[in-house]
Amino acid sequence: MAKSEKPKKSTDWRKRFGAAKDPHVVMLSSPFAGVPSGAMMLISSPGDIARYVAAIPSGETRSIARLRSDLAKRAKADAMCPVTTAIYLRVVAEVALDELEAGKPMDEVVPFWRIIEPKDKLVAKLSCGPERIEHLRALEEG
């Protein structure tokens, strides 16, 4: 390792989960990430996303697009920020993966595999690969 390189610190996902701001709605003054100018956009939170995902019945799945649509409607917004959705969904998934790694039973963690599909771009950023998500989905199907 070169002198200027620092070892990569591991992320404290639980800390990131708790440090996020409360959900709020903003009016966009210019287009952002596919959401048009003038739209009311929800900036959610890991907690809101975790509650949504935890409410998906066992064996069922939802798309990230549906999560964004459902939470935006709930907040009386036109859209939900796709950028923070991906970030916070990753935080939720990493907390669940840490809990599974620590021995917590599958039915006691937020079932992120019900919303993150093995082929989603987000999977490339997770500490697990698509095979783990496929495995968790298969275990749930029985």
- Per-residue pLDDT tens for 20-60? 899 999 999 999 999 999 999 999 999 999 999 999 999 89
User: pLDDT at residue 141 above 90?
Assistant: no
Q: Where are the alpha helices (DSSP H) in the chain?
A: 13-19, 46-54, 64-74, 82-101, 130-141
Residue 61 in this model has a pLDDT that exceeds 90: yes
Q: What is the pTM of this model?
A: 0.89
Of 40-44, 72-76, 133-137, 138-142, least confident by mean pLDDT is 138-142
Strand partners, 25: 42
Please give the average per-residue pLDDT across 121-136, as a whole number.
95
pLDDT band at 10 (very low <50, low <70, confident <90, very high): confident
* 25, containing H or E segment: strand 24-27
Domains of the chain and any CATH numbers:
14-141 (1.10.10.10)
State residue 140's pLDDT score.
87
**One-letter amino acid identity for 114?**
R
- pLDDT-derived band at 1 (thresholds 50, 70, 90) equals very low
Q: Residue 2 above 60 pLDDT?
A: no
- Written as six digits, the tokens of 33 are 């990430």
Cα–Cα distance, 127 to 27 (Å, whole number): 34
pLDDT at 4: 52
What average pLDDT score do residues 127-136 get? 95
Distance, CA of 5 to CA of 35 (rounded, Å): 38
Report the pLDDT averaged over residues 87-97. 97
Return the pLDDT at 5.
Answer: 55
* Residue 7: pLDDT over 50: yes
Cα atoms in the Cβ-side hemisphere of radius 13 Å centred on 3? 0
